[in-house]
Amino acid sequence: MGMKASRTGSPPLSKSKTLLISLCLFFTPRSISGQTWKWVTETVDNYGVQNSIAVDKDQNLHISYFSGGLKYAFRPANSSKWFTMQLAPGSGYAEVATRVALDLSGNPHICFTPGVLKYASFENHGWNIQQIDPQSGLIEYTCSLAITADGTPHVIWYQYGGPQGGYFLHLKYATLDKGAWLARTVDYEGQTGKWNCMVLDAQGNPHVTYDSFLKGEIKYAYWDGKDWHRSVVDSPDISPNGPSGGMGNSLLLNRDGKAQISYENGEAVKYAWEKNGSWKLDTIEHVALTGGWSGYRTRQALDPQGNPHVVYEDGGAVKHAYWDGNDWRIQVVSAAGTRAHRYEDIAFDRRGNIYIVYQDAIDGSLKVAVGSPQGHAQSASNEKKSKK
């Protein structure tokens, strides 16, 4: 069930980069042969927005989300029972965001906004919550975090206001060093980073994607231990037939240490592959976006074979696109309803099971669709022959 992806090239990266590591579903009419899954749906909580999901090495599931404040949900492996708890009270702000990441021991770490940026970590059978960069000013919209092998957290966020008031509107980054948060600005260009994502390389250095809103660009940057190196992935100059945007971006690093980025503009979900020092661009699908900053959202994960899977919204429906090595194939996870935004995220376990978290379109409850791999779907042409 694939569609041919439109591909264009873009200018080469500015500098060479270090090697990296890092209910009911149905196919769209464009389907051909592809992977299939057996799906079940689980209800986690009676409400959930700005959801983020992760799977640890023991197959346990972890979700951070907002429901009257910051909440955390846990599901043990080989179980369908969810345990939930509230970690912080509601803030009264509309522009809330959260992201969960795991350390090597499977302990959850969470960044969350708004107003101030806070970091919650599970340590010694309990939660510790602290504020990051407390004198920095007003913080809103998205944050992202990653944890090094030695347990050091790295966090990025959108700095909305300055410490003395007024606008700041830049992407910032901090890491915890000997009990103190050391903060830097990633890019001083105006209105950069409302949508952002971060991963770490083998040396523990951060690699980030973010939008440059005023220029309609999506940018990629990495820290080599001394300096930030930045490049433009897509822009109106590179993609002249439509806006490039960069909203709702998501970054991962493939097995070859190359960056792969999903993102949106006002009309399509796009995908950028780092190849031979430049970017190759796909259009996964033209979509109807519901607007507002929360309506621009892609999340992605690699399956055990190293293929990317992307979740996103299309006219209020949650969709799942995956690369089979030749084409993008698309499924509808949850149809549209009365809810404007769905707050979807995706994760894989080591056995190839998919976990897609989202808000129910009708009642607002927090749901997880669990897909178990079942082989390959029949091609559309063969299916017609079998019915004759």
pLDDT tens for the chain, 388 residues long, are 334 444 444 444 443 333 332 333 443 333 334 688 999 999 999 999 999 999 999 999 999 999 999 999 999 999 999 999 999 998 766 678 999 999 999 999 999 999 999 999 998 889 999 999 888 899 999 999 999 999 999 999 999 999 988 999 999 999 998 889 999 999 999 999 999 999 999 889 999 999 999 999 999 999 998 999 999 999 999 998 777 899 999 999 998 889 999 999 989 999 999 998 899 999 999 999 887 889 999 999 999 999 999 999 999 999 999 999 999 999 999 999 999 999 999 999 999 999 999 999 999 999 999 999 987 644 333 333 334 4
* Best CA proximity match to 276, nearest among 302, 297, 256: 256
Domain with residues 2-386, CATH architecture: 7 Propeller (2.130)
CA distance 354 to 320: 10
**The residue to which tokens 């890092």 are assigned:** 22
CA distance 261 to 326: 17
User: What pLDDT, on a 0 to 100 scale, did the predictor assign at position 25?
Assistant: 41
User: What pLDDT, on a 0 to 100 scale, did the predictor assign at position 93?
Assistant: 67
CA distance 13 to 221: 10
User: What pLDDT, on a 0 to 100 scale, did the predictor assign at position 375?
Assistant: 75
Query: Counting beta carbons within 10 angstroms of the beta carbon of residue 387, is it exposed (0 to 12), middle (13 to 18) or buried (19 or more)?
Result: exposed
Torsion region of 382: left, alpha or beta (phi above 0 gives left; psi -120 to 50 gives alpha):
alpha
Judge contact between 139 and 104, C-beta under 8 A.
Answer: no
